[in-house]
């Protein structure tokens, strides 16, 4: 077993993260929140590409269009349940993100 196989680390830089988050915030603000799924997937894709777990780099294949469909569904469920479903939106988002995250090698 190679020692590098057990290494886990994040190799992204602070300035890159700040840049991606500012870009995502600007996209979200300028579109009044409509493009939030695009900004979210853009930032998370960067995070995944810079994450290595047990020597294996992560990849993310989720798209803004996929997330947008879920976002609309979650919004409707939140409205129908008078806000109660909003407590589950964060969990649903984590499930969706995890479903689309995998080892690239």
Digit-coded pLDDT (tens) for 51-77: 999 999 999 999 999 999 999 999 999
- Is 1 part of any domain? no
**Average pLDDT for the chain:** 93
Average pLDDT score over residue span 93-99: 96
At residue 44's C-alpha, the angle toward residues 103 and 3, to 5°, is 35
Number of domains present in the structure of the chain? 1
Provide the domain limits for residue 59. Answer: 8-103
- Is 3 part of any domain? no
- Is 97 part of any domain? yes
d(CA 47, CA 14): 11
For residue 6, name the pLDDT band (cuts at 50, 70, 90). confident
For residue 2, name the pLDDT band (cuts at 50, 70, 90). low
Q: What is the pLDDT of residue 3?
A: 60
- Is 79 part of any domain? yes
- Is 98 part of any domain? yes
């Amino acid at each position: 077993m190679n020692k590098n196989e057990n290494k886990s680390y994040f190799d992204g830089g602070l300035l890159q993260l700040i840049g991606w988050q500012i870009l995502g915030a600007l996209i979200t603000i300028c579109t009044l929140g409509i493009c939030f799924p695009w900004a979210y997937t853009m930032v998370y894709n960067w995070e995944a590409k810079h994450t290595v777990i047990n020597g294996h780099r992560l990849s993310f294949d989720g798209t803004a269009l996929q997330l947008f469909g879920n976002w609309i569904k979650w919004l409707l469920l939140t409205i129908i349940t008078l806000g109660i479903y909003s407590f589950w939106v964060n969990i649903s988002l984590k499930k969706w993100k995890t479903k689309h995250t995998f080892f690239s090698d």
